[in-house]
Amino acid sequence: MKRLGLFLLILGLALPIFAQVQLPEHHFASGSWRFIGDRLYQTDARARLAKVNIRIPQSGPMIYEFNVRYEGGVEDGHGGFGIHVFADSVYHRASWGSGTSYLFWLNYDEDPIKPGIPTGFSAQVYRSFSNSNMELIESINLNEFDYLLTHENWAINTVPFQIWVNGDTGEFRLYDPIEPEYYYQFFLPTRNLRGNWISIRTNGLSLSFAEGL
């Protein structure tokens, strides 16, 4: 199993030994991204399609884990972030999809327009067919965890994000942020997934990210 402490792969940009660090290819495709200390910030709360693309070969079982801290932007009652995995290609500008991939998304929306999206805190799984074409294939109500989303809590604490995807079988697990031995299980409609890219994205939020849970 391959474990990606996601930002370990790019946090070398913040280190004084920058010239000695071997970084994977990466592109700040849209939004306003920068490093402050050991965290990567997306500071444009108005950006709807903020995205950073990172070249990482993926196959078989994969764990994607990092922590997230709220920095601003949810005052309008809507915001979200997520990760495209097993992407065969990416677009280094703003885009809705990310090649052929799967997007795992955490969403907060006080007045959702799209059918199937719960009011409040939820998670979605999208299948991306191209940079402009995605379909919703699963939606999960997470309002039992909405207490994590108070401004006071987010301003002080980080929230862990961990998913496990078996590219061979299509099994997907979203882990409980409080009790990591529990997870939501779902099977993707695709088997034998392979990809060379991941994309981290935000929608209408300013967030910061760092390695670890």
Task: Specify the pLDDT at position 178.
Answer: 79
Residues pairing with 127 in the sheet: 102, 135
Residue 20 has pLDDT above 70, yes or no: no
3-state secondary structure of 145: helix
**Which of 12-26, 54-68, 145-159, 163-177 has the lowest average pLDDT?**
12-26
Percent of the chain with pLDDT over 90: 60
- Average pLDDT over every residue of 111-125: 90
Global pTM value: 0.86
Mean per-residue pLDDT for 27-49? 92
Q: How many CB atoms lie within 10 A of CB 77?
A: 10
Contacts with 79 (C-beta within 8 Å, 6 or more apart), sequence order: 45, 73, 107, 108, 202, 203, 204, 205
Whether the predicted pLDDT of 189 surpasses 80 = yes
Look up tokens 């939004």; give the residue: 31
User: pLDDT tens for residues 73-91?
Assistant: 887 888 999 999 999 999 9
If you average pLDDT over every residue of the chain, what do you get?
Answer: 85
CATH number of 2-15+24-173+193-210: 2.60.120.560
Q: Poorest-confidence range of 69-78, 133-142, 143-152, 175-184?
A: 143-152
Taking a C-beta distance cutoff of 8 angstroms, is the pair 125, 138 a contact? yes
Instruction: Indicate whether 146 pLDDT > 50.
Output: yes
Answer yes or no: is pLDDT of 63 > 90: yes
134-141/50-59 β-pairing: unpaired
- Specify the pLDDT at position 7: 46
Which pair of structure tokens corresponds to residue 205? 């939020």
pLDDT of residue 171: 96
Alpha helices, H only, the chain: 151-156
The DSSP code for 20 is G
* Alpha-carbon gap, residue 185 to 105, rounded angstroms: 15
Average pLDDT of span 168-183:
90
pLDDT value of position 145: 76
Query: Does residue 33 or residue 156 have the better pLDDT?
Result: 33
125, 130, 133, 138: CA torsion to nearest 10: -10
- pLDDT: which is higher, 77 or 198: 198
Average pLDDT over residues 190-205: 95
3-class DSSP state for residue 192?
Answer: coil
Q: What is the pLDDT of residue 23?
A: 53
Q: Is the dihedral of CA 111, 115, 119, 121 positive or negative?
A: negative
For the cut 50, the answer to whether the pLDDT of residue 118 exceeds it is yes
**Which residues sit opposite 1 in a β-bridge?**
none
